[in-house]
Amino acid sequence: MKIAFVGKGGSGKTTLSSLFIRHLAATGAPVIAVDADINQHLGPALGLDEADAAALPAMGARIPLIKDYLRGSNPRIASADTMIKTTPPGEGSRILRVREDNPVYDACARPVELDDAAVRLMVTGPFTEADLGVACYHSKTGAVELFLNHLVDGRDEYAVVDMTAGSDSFASGMFTRFDMTFLVAEPTRKGVSVYRQYKEYARDFGVDLRVVGNKVQGQDDIDFLREQVGDDLLVTVGHSDWVRAMEKGRPPRFEFLEDDNRRSLQALQGAVDTSYERRDWDRYTRQMVHFHLKNAQSWGNERTGADLAAQVDPDFVLGERAVATA
């Protein structure tokens, strides 16, 4: 299952991603945690100290390796240089699984121990001022898109992505790559306005979007969110002393998380697990192709000097069948 946490800056994306990751890991499920936010905080939120977090390999710096591996023997992708972040897999491409070892994980993922379980953590890498201009920033989150576009994941295994709700994820189509998108919103007008924008983009693409209210202090906050987002409101989370202790560098064992927050995490998992029934690999592949053609036309063809529409394998559908024939 592919899950995104999005929302306004400071709303609690990283905090709720990390709690959800801990919750899933505690059930014994395999989890890949991905930090795709401009502010790289997921490692520390999972308990890494500063030195360990800084030593994480940056996916953004390993894009040639990622492309070269994923391209495999796909005859439609002549070289890694002509592969852009939206280039879809086709026959001959390499497919990634959650439970496996592969050169992409070797290069980009590191294990993080959480109480009695471990997850794999991948990070795009820190963004510098210069990245936020155009190309490099895109190529950094592009590594995550390549990962998502080649990942065949099943029930009871999870890839959780902490990301922003920025316009780049709309342009590239990254926002359509998830079984479930949790929009973290504080009970404020600004928090809710990000929801509206997201909902607008999501409408035409069948994106499963649920709102997780955060830093909710009472019934008035809950009423406000309910009034603003209606049935899209899945759960609310209040202030957590467990989170505060963790931020002081004294993480209690996860089993000591407050009961109501634990119930909220269970509700998130319930929503994710239910969404499995709605999974549609045909649609997933179609949307990949749709955004690839859009990106090819708007900048990719010019950048690579190739006709990137030719990379699309018309008979290919990502999914278990693609794995069987790979």
Ligand X SMILES: Nc1ncnc2c1ncn2[C@@H]1O[C@H](COP(=O)(O)OP(=O)(O)OP(=O)(O)O)[C@@H](O)[C@H]1O
Q: CA 33 to CA 292: how far, in whole Å?
A: 25
Under the binding rule (CB under 5 A), the answer on residue 14 touching Mg ion is yes
- Which of residues 72 and 166 has its CB atom nearest to Mg ion in the complex? 166
The binding site for ligand X (CB under 6 A) comprises: 7, 9-15, 37, 39, 41, 214-215, 237, 239-240, 243-244, 247
The secondary element (H helix, E strand) that includes residue 278 is none
Nearer residue to ligand X within complex by CB, 13 or 140: 13
* Residue with smaller CB distance to Mg ion, 8 or 150: 8
Question: Which listed option, ligand X, Mg ion, none, makes contact with residue 214 (CB within 5 to 8 Å by class)?
Answer: ligand X
Closest separation in Å from C-beta 8 to ligand X: 7
Amino acid type, 44: P
12, interface contact from Mg ion, ligand X, none, CB < 5-8 Å by kind: ligand X
Distance of closest approach, residue 10 Cβ to ligand X, in angstroms: 4
DSSP result, 213-261 = E-S--SHHHHHHHHHHHGGGEEEE----HHHHHHHTT-PPPGGGS-HHH
**Whose CB is nearest to Mg ion?**
14
58: Cβ contacts below 8 Å, ≥ 6 apart: 123, 124, 125, 126, 140
Under 8 Å between Cβ of 288 and 318: yes
- Based on CB atoms, which residue is closest to ligand X, 2 or 13? 13
Count CA atoms within 13 Å of residue 292 on its CB side: 27
**In the window 35-64, what residues touch Mg ion (CB under 5 A)?**
37, 39, 41
Q: How many Å apart are CA 307 and CA 297, to the nearest integer?
A: 9
CB of 163 to Mg ion, least distance (A): 9
Per CB under 5 A, which region of 12-20, 79-87, 237-245, 272-280 contacts Mg ion? 12-20
What residue ranges bind Mg ion (CB under 5 A)? 13-14, 37, 39, 41
